[in-house]
A and B are shown apart, each in its own frame.
Chain A
Amino acid sequence: MGILEIKNVNKRFGGLQALGNVNLSVAENTVHAIIGPNGAGKSTLLNCLVGKLIPDTGSVMFDGQSVLGRAPYEINQMGISRVFQTPEIFGDLTVMENMLIPCFAKRDGSFEMNALASMSKQRDIMEKAEQMLVDMNMADKRHMHAASMSRGDKRRLEIGMCLSQEPRLLLLDEPTAGMARADTNNTIDLLKQISAERDITIAIIEHDMHVVFSLAQRITVLAQGTPLVEDTPEKIKGHPKVREAYLGESA
């Protein structure tokens, strides 16, 4: 029984079958990659997990509880954090404030009217955010405007923000899309380190095979909205069906 169980999920947009009978199980404390050509339904599947879309049929269980019909913030409070394709951070706020917000969300829940509380009295939160900045290697940037950072730094910050919520499942949507090679390698190292050091499950949607094969312990190949194969990276590499569907080679 995996931490995330997707059963018989179907999703239709008008005449297009975006997802057809998706069954997927992500085991706890692994790195699971979902790959597939463009239009295979990877993003649709991801959006069904975080509450942005509701599948037509099927069930999505996280840790034994259904996520369907819940708002994104409720699903997040259950322990699922999401990293976006283009970093979604609070651009108008400082790096430190960016890190503080998820810490508050973790401690106080989805809404807290602490309008008269003083920031300096929130020692536990301040320390936690500070520690996370150090972990992410960006403590020197704490007073910077988040919007003025480089793409790689924004990605680091976003991952740090997700981690500071101590999620049990971290969803990454093409985390290295549009990144330079050096930034990509940094991100891979960061994710490897996270997966090794923390009690966390990572599900990653990725285009870049280099990233997938350096990180994943298990890979699901999605084609035309349906899982084609699921196996270890070594087996996937040699699988004829995958080469045909995904790598575009004839078997």
Chain B
Amino acid sequence: MLGLTPKDTTLLIIVAILTLFAPFILNPFPTDSAMAQFNAGYPDLMQRFVIFGIFAIGFNILFGLTGYLSFGHAAFLGVGSYSAVWMMKLLTMNVIPAIVLSVIVAGLFSVVIGYISLRRSGIYFSILTLAFAQMSYNLAYSVLTPVTNGETGLQIALDDPRILDGANAPQYPNLFGTEMNDAVTMTLGPWAFTFSVGYYVCAIIMMLAFYLSIRIFRSPFGMMLRAVKSNQQRMNYTGLNTRPYTLAAFVISGMYAGLAGGLMASMDPLAGAERMQWTASGEVVLMTILGGAGTLIGPVVGAGFIKYFENIFSKINDSILHQWFSFMPEGLEDLLVFLVHPFIGKGWHLTLGLLFMLVVIFLPGGLVEGGQRLSKMFRRKAKTSDEKTDGKTSPAE
């Protein structure tokens, strides 16, 4: 279907179902229960899931396939955000032109930065991208203040021209009149599910982005990108020019980042320079590696994982911990709370750093590889219990 193998189609359908029903799936606990804090089914968080999912999917096309580790992709996300907000200031609050412009502008930026950075590889490439991103960040904060509004960040205002919008046009980002923050809440017994327009706009765009990435992975072009990672020497001596391939991958991933930035601004119309900082680039690297670089679904899993736990961990505090451990004897309870305390609330980054180190050390393939290992283990157990040792292994994909 859609030019995909049955296996990929299944994957796409599963992802589609999960995203469409996310408001249900992510809200498994009744609103009033103690567990409600683990719910993630509210629009703001779900939007972040899919937006960062898009960012990571794009990053994976560069890093996962070609192995070029960019530390500057946040710059493209920032540029996308700024372009989208400017579009909403000047032209219309409709999100379509804003998103289109953010992709185009990020694409142009990535052509320039990619063309220069890709003249080097390995660690030098990483440093070049890092230097470009820091340059953009510093400029956004200083001389480019007329464009970026410096530290305050770029916002929309009532007196913006918005030449395409009539007098009665909505004052918030919208899709042909339907505002992004419109939402319907459905109450089912003790549960409440929120369906927001913004989330579904993002979700549909992510589905398209995901579909496109599957097509790229499975295309001859995607195979060439993996060949770049595997052996550039052989590529050159096979009559292939590696530079356009890597540049194309760089630009595609830059456009994905711009798309994510544009969506971010469409959900909440402001853009700040902190989105371009290199630690923000580091975050998308974390997501991709944590989920599984080079795999199709890995980046999405990584983005969801990090954003979910960031949200949950940041909300847990000592009194919640005391509730959890209250069944234990007093001394032990206090000790446990004391031990867990550094990792929760504001300590979420500590947890993330540790988790990331553990993944790089023990599970270089990320969570996806972990899942595969587990399922293999179970399958092997099932086989041995069946006492049917089948020598044939399924061919590697």
Contact = CB atoms under 8 A, between A and B. Distances in A.
B261 interface: no
Given A71-B236, A72-B237, A82-B237, A93 B220 contact: no
Given A88-B231, A90-B227, A112 B239 contact: no
Contact of B240 (A73, A120, A125): A73
Contacts of A108: 220
A176 interface: no
A90 B241 contact: no
Interface of B: 3, 5, 215-216, 218-224, 226-227, 229-231, 233-241, 244-245, 248, 252, 395-396
A115 B231 contact: no
B240 A101 contact: yes
Interface of A: 50, 71-73, 76-77, 81-82, 84, 88-94, 97, 100-102, 104-106, 108-120, 122, 125, 143-145, 161, 165
Contacts of B252: 115
A118 B223 contact: no
A115 B216 CA distance: 5
A110 B221 CA distance: 12
Nearest to B243: A111
A105 B220 contact: no
Contacts of B224: 101, 104
Nearest to B247: A111
A100 B235 CA distance: 12
A99 to B, nearest CB: 11
A122 to B, nearest CB: 7
Contacts of B227: 90, 93, 97, 101
B226 A165 contact: no
A203 to B, nearest CB: 15
A152 to B, nearest CB: 18
A113 B221 contact: yes
Nearest to B231: A90
11 contacts: A76-B239, A91-B230, A100-B223, A101-B224, A113-B244, A114-B220, A115-B215, A115-B248, A119-B218, A119-B220, A120-B5
A77 B227 CA distance: 18
A47 to B, nearest CB: 11
